[in-house]
Structure 1
Amino acid sequence: MGAFRKQLFYLTNDQLTTYQGEKGNYSAGLSFPNDETGWEAFSRHLAGSQNTPTYLLADLIEEDFQLDSLPHVLGRSRRALIQRRLGQLYRDTPYRQAVQQGREEFGRKDDQMLFSALTNVELLKPWLNALMKQKVPLTGIYSPALLSTTLIKKLDLVSDNLLLVTHQASGLRQSFFQGSALKFSRLTTLPDHNPDTVADTTARETANTQQFLASARLLPRGKTLDAVILTHGESLQMLQSACHDTPALAHRFLDLTDAATQLGLKNPGSVTLCDPLFLSLLGATPASHYAQTEQTRYYSLWQARLVLYILSAGVVTGALLSAGANGLEALQHYRQSQQIAIETSLAQSQYQTIIRSLPHTAASPQDMKAAVNIEQMISRNAPAPTQLLGTVSRALDILPQIRIDQLHWRVSTEAETTDNPADPQQHQPVPGVAEPAPSSVLIGIPKKPNQILLIEGEVVSLRQDYRTALESVRLFAAELGKNKLLRTEITRPPLDIKPSVKLTGNAGVEETDTKTRFIMKLTLRPES
Structure 2
Amino acid sequence: MISRRLLYLNTHRLSAFVWQAGKLTQEGVFDNDDHGRSAFASYVASHRHSHFSLLANVAEEGHVIETIPFLQGKDRETLIRRKIGQHFLGTPLATSASLGFEKTKRKNERVLLCALTDPTHFEPWLSRLAQSGAPLKGIYSVAQLGGRLLKKLAVTHERCLLLTLQDHSIRESFVVNGKALFSRMAPLPDSSIAGIASSFSAESGKLHQYLIGQRHIGHDDRMPVVIVAPPSALPAIEKACLADGRLDFTLLDNTEAARQLKLQRTPEDCRCEALFLHLLATNPPSQQFASSTHRHDYDLSRLRFLLLAGGLVTLLGGSLFAAKQLYDARQLRDEAVQQQAIEADLAARYREITATFPQIGVDNDSLRTLTDRYRQLRSQQTLPADAYRHLGQALAATPAIELTGLDWKIGPNSASTAGRTSAGAVEITTVRGNIVPPPGSTTRQLLVDFDQFLALLRENTAVTINVIKAPIELESSQPLRGGDNEQESAVPRAFVLEILRNHAP
Quickly name the TM-score band, shorter chain normalised: 0.7 to 0.9
Quote the Cα distance in structure 2 between the aligned partners of 1:323 and 1:164: 60
Asked whether the equivalents of residues 430 and 496 of structure 2 are also in contact (C-alpha less than 8 Å), the reply is no
Asked whether the equivalents of residues 260 and 277 of structure 1 are also in contact (C-alpha less than 8 Å), the reply is yes
Quote the Cα distance in structure 1 between the aligned partners of 2:407 and 2:159: 118
Deviation at 1:33, TM superposition (A): 1.5
State the match for 1:422 in structure 2.
414
State the match for 2:476 in structure 1.
506
| 1:290 counterpart SS class | coil
State the match for 2:123 in structure 1.
125
Asked whether the equivalents of residues 139 and 288 of structure 1 are also in contact (C-alpha less than 8 Å), the reply is no
State the match for 1:433 in structure 2.
none
| 2:294 counterpart SS class | helix
State the match for 1:205 in structure 2.
203
Q: Does 1:330 align with 2:326?
A: no
Q: For 1:380-459, what aligned pairs fall within 5 Å after superposition?
A: 381-382=377-378, 389-390=385-386, 408-410=408-410, 420-422=412-414, 452-456=426-430
Q: Which amino acid letter does the alignment assign opposite residue 427 of structure 2? A: L
Name the CA shift for 1:52/1:388 in 2 (closer, same or farther; >3 Å): farther
Name the CA shift for 1:383/1:251 in 2 (closer, same or farther; >3 Å): closer
Asked whether the equivalents of residues 173 and 188 of structure 1 are also in contact (C-alpha less than 8 Å), the reply is yes
State the match for 1:523 in structure 2.
503
CA distances 1:277-305 after superposition (whole Å, capped 9, x unpaired): 22233343363421111221222222222
State the match for 2:297 in structure 1.
298
Asked whether the equivalents of residues 146 and 179 of structure 2 are also in contact (C-alpha less than 8 Å), the reply is no
Q: Does 1:289 align with 2:259?
A: no
Q: For 1:78-477, what aligned pairs fall within 5 Å after superposition?
A: 78-105=76-103, 110-169=108-167, 171-191=169-189, 193-268=191-266, 272-283=270-281, 284-285=283-284, 287-345=286-344, 358=356, 361-363=358-360, 367=363, 371=367, 374-375=370-371, 378-379=374-375, 381-382=377-378, 389-390=385-386, 408-410=408-410, 420-422=412-414, 452-456=426-430
| 1:293 counterpart SS class | coil
State the match for 2:485 in structure 1.
none
CA distances 1:61-93 after superposition (whole Å, capped 9, x unpaired): 100112232333444443333222222111111
Asked whether the equivalents of residues 168 and 191 of structure 2 are also in contact (C-alpha less than 8 Å), the reply is no
Q: Which amino acid letter does the alignment assign opposite residue 307 of structure 1? A: L
Q: Which amino acid letter does the alignment assign opposite residue 15 of structure 1? A: R
Quote the Cα distance in structure 2 between the aligned partners of 1:395 and 1:75: 93
Name the CA shift for 1:379/1:66 in 2 (closer, same or farther; >3 Å): closer
Name the CA shift for 1:286/1:229 in 2 (closer, same or farther; >3 Å): closer
Q: Which amino acid letter does the alignment assign opposite residue 291 of structure 1? A: A
Quote the Cα distance in structure 1 between the aligned partners of 2:365 and 2:105: 105
Q: Which amino acid letter does the alignment assign opposite residue 476 of structure 2? A: N
Asked whether the equivalents of residues 134 and 297 of structure 2 are also in contact (C-alpha less than 8 Å), the reply is yes
Identity of aligned residues (%): 23
Q: Which amino acid letter does the alignment assign opposite residue 246 of structure 1? A: D
Quote the Cα distance in structure 1 between the aligned partners of 2:81 and 2:431: 105
Name the CA shift for 1:167/1:344 in 2 (closer, same or farther; >3 Å): same
| 1:219 counterpart SS class | coil
Show structure 1 runs of 5+ residues with no match. Answer: 411-416, 425-449, 481-489, 496-503
Q: Which amino acid letter does the alignment assign opposite residue 29 of structure 1? A: E
Name the CA shift for 1:246/1:510 in 2 (closer, same or farther; >3 Å): farther
Name the CA shift for 1:506/1:205 in 2 (closer, same or farther; >3 Å): same
Q: Which amino acid letter does the alignment assign opposite residue 520 of structure 1? A: L
Q: Which amino acid letter does the alignment assign opposite residue 133 of structure 1? A: Q
Deviation at 1:379, TM superposition (A): 4.8
CA distances 1:490-512 after superposition (whole Å, capped 9, x unpaired): 7x9679xxxxxxxx972795799
Name the CA shift for 1:102/1:355 in 2 (closer, same or farther; >3 Å): closer
Name the CA shift for 1:511/1:225 in 2 (closer, same or farther; >3 Å): farther
Show structure 2 runs of 5+ residues with no match. Answer: 417-423, 433-445, 469-473, 483-492
Deviation at 1:195, TM superposition (A): 3.6
Name the CA shift for 1:223/1:348 in 2 (closer, same or farther; >3 Å): same
Q: Which amino acid letter does the alignment assign opposite residue 314 of structure 2? A: V
Quote the Cα distance in structure 2 between the aligned partners of 1:80 and 1:396: 102
Deviation at 1:47, TM superposition (A): 1.4
Deviation at 1:106, TM superposition (A): 6.1
| 1:159 counterpart SS class | coil
Asked whether the equivalents of residues 161 and 224 of structure 1 are also in contact (C-alpha less than 8 Å), the reply is no
CA distances 1:468-515 after superposition (whole Å, capped 9, x unpaired): x99x97x966x47xxxxxxxxx7x9679xxxxxxxx9727957999x9
| 2:363 counterpart SS class | helix
Quote the Cα distance in structure 1 between the aligned partners of 2:211 and 2:179: 15
State the match for 2:486 in structure 1.
none
Q: How many residues align?
A: 461
Name the CA shift for 1:76/1:354 in 2 (closer, same or farther; >3 Å): closer
Name the CA shift for 1:462/1:20 in 2 (closer, same or farther; >3 Å): farther
CA distances 1:341-368 after superposition (whole Å, capped 9, x unpaired): 4555555566666677x59x5447x726
Name the CA shift for 1:453/1:10 in 2 (closer, same or farther; >3 Å): same
Asked whether the equivalents of residues 413 and 426 of structure 2 are also in contact (C-alpha less than 8 Å), the reply is no
Deviation at 1:58, TM superposition (A): 1.8
Deviation at 1:372, TM superposition (A): 6.5
Q: Which amino acid letter does the alignment assign opposite residue 320 of structure 2? A: L
| 1:30 counterpart SS class | strand
Deviation at 1:197, TM superposition (A): 3.6
State the match for 1:500 in structure 2.
none
Deviation at 1:227, TM superposition (A): 1.0
Q: Which amino acid letter does the alignment assign opposite residue 523 of structure 1? A: H
Quote the Cα distance in structure 2 between the aligned partners of 1:37 and 1:393: 123
Quote the Cα distance in structure 1 between the aligned partners of 2:207 and 2:264: 34
TM-score by length of 1: 0.74
Deviation at 1:179, TM superposition (A): 3.6
Deviation at 1:234, TM superposition (A): 1.5
Deviation at 1:7, TM superposition (A): 0.8
Deviation at 1:10, TM superposition (A): 1.0
Quote the Cα distance in structure 2 between the aligned partners of 1:145 and 1:105: 28
